[in-house]
Amino acid sequence: MAGAGALGLSAALSLAEAGCRVSVWDPGGAPQASAVAAGMLAPVFEAVLDDAAGDLDLLLAARDLWPGLAARIGVELDRAGTAAVGSRAWLAEVGERVSGLGVTADRLSRAELGALAPGIAPGLEGLWVGDDWRLEPRPALAALRAAAVTAGVEFRAEAVRSRADADWLVIATGAGQGLAEAAPELAGLAPIKGQILRFAQRRGGRVSLRGEGAYAVPGAEGLAIGATMERGRDDTEVDMAALAPLAAAAGRLFPELAQAACEVSVGVRAATPDGLPMAGLSRTPGVVLAVGARRNGWLLAPMVARIVTACIMGGESGPYAPRLDPGRFQGRAR
């Protein structure tokens, strides 16, 4: 296994549980998208607010694999739900799209919104959906790794440079292109840089919020406001100019944030042409791909892991495997 992010670790654990001998290689050191992420498991608002996220049925099916995985690795899922927050006109549009998907949403009174999100700007209204959850990414990475070790997975702090002599190579290298020679499909991935603000002093809020131009997630490391989508960029430099619209959106949600100190974290997402991951066999014999999860890698990780495991160990890959087949871009989807 090349890569110990959310996708690589989930797949390594699943393979080891299925009886495979797994060795995970990752040099570490560089900022990792999985550690930077907000940790939202958000099928509904991703389907509603992001055109490239994929269909709700697939995203819900991925989310539904999480309770089982979370129980196996001892991670708590925050199921308090998520509220869209914004102007009346914007919220009406969002509400229409949510109900168009057949999802139940509740309008929040101003008092209810204030209780769920203390400090929220006056004049904003809220719409709550119970289907979008979240987890804490860093503890989840640690828990996945610990569970993988318990299941017999070995770890090496080195980069994989070639197909080498393993029976199978699983490539879960995020936006990394180091193994492009081993799997031509990696050339189809485009980087999307993401910067996210963390306000360590601001812990308030009981649910994640989705606003116009930003989300706000109350996590263990403070309130996270995210995230930029900088297409074509794969650097991890802080870029204040690119952050300005996000900071402005944060201030519109919580006026006090306009003056508050924050830290910036940066990660690079990998995106396929249709926005869904490549999970399955590469054109290169013996190589399996688990890449390209774009902005929903945490949400999709257990689904990708299941497909990778079925490729190598047999068993059920689930109904969504054809939609994630890397061959769909070469017209050979099975």
Ligand X SMILES: Cc1cc2nc3c(=O)[nH]c(=O)nc-3n(C[C@H](O)[C@H](O)[C@H](O)COP(=O)(O)OP(=O)(O)OC[C@H]3O[C@@H](n4cnc5c(N)ncnc54)[C@H](O)[C@@H]3O)c2cc1C
Residues near ligand X (CB under 6 A): 2-8, 25-27, 30, 32-34, 36-40, 159-160, 172-174, 176, 178-179, 194, 196, 226-227, 267, 269, 291, 293-299
Q: Which residue bears the tokens 């996270």?
A: 224
Compare residues 108 and 171 and give the one whose CB is closer to ligand X.
Answer: 171
CB of 43: closest distance to ligand X in angstroms? 10
- Which residues, including other chains, have CB under 8 Å from residue 313's CB and lie 6 or more apart? 15, 18, 19, 20
CB of 198: closest distance to ligand X in angstroms? 10
Residue 53 CA to residue 41 CA, distance in Å, equals: 12
- Which residues, including other chains, have CB under 8 Å from residue 314's CB and lie 6 or more apart? none
CB of 232: closest distance to ligand X in angstroms? 14
Compare residues 79 and 110 and give the one whose CB is closer to ligand X.
Answer: 79
Compare residues 59 and 108 and give the one whose CB is closer to ligand X.
Answer: 59
What's the token pair of residue 315? 């068993």
Compare residues 69 and 125 and give the one whose CB is closer to ligand X.
Answer: 69
The CB-nearest residue to ligand X is: 297
CB of 222: closest distance to ligand X in angstroms? 15
> How many residues are given for the chain?
334
CA distance to 6, 47, 96, 98, 107, per residue, from 93 (Å): 33, 14, 5, 9, 13
Compare residues 173 and 317 and give the one whose CB is closer to ligand X.
Answer: 173
Compare residues 9 and 257 and give the one whose CB is closer to ligand X.
Answer: 9
What's the token pair of residue 101? 């998907």
- Which residues, including other chains, have CB under 8 Å from residue 263's CB and lie 6 or more apart? 197, 198, 200
Rg of the chain taking only CA atoms, in angstroms:
20
- Backbone dihedral angles phi then psi of residue 68, each to the nearest 5 degrees: -65, -45
Number of H helices, E strands in the chain: 11, 16
CB of 123: closest distance to ligand X in angstroms? 27
CB of 301: closest distance to ligand X in angstroms? 7
CB of 121: closest distance to ligand X in angstroms? 22
Compare residues 94 and 225 and give the one whose CB is closer to ligand X.
Answer: 225
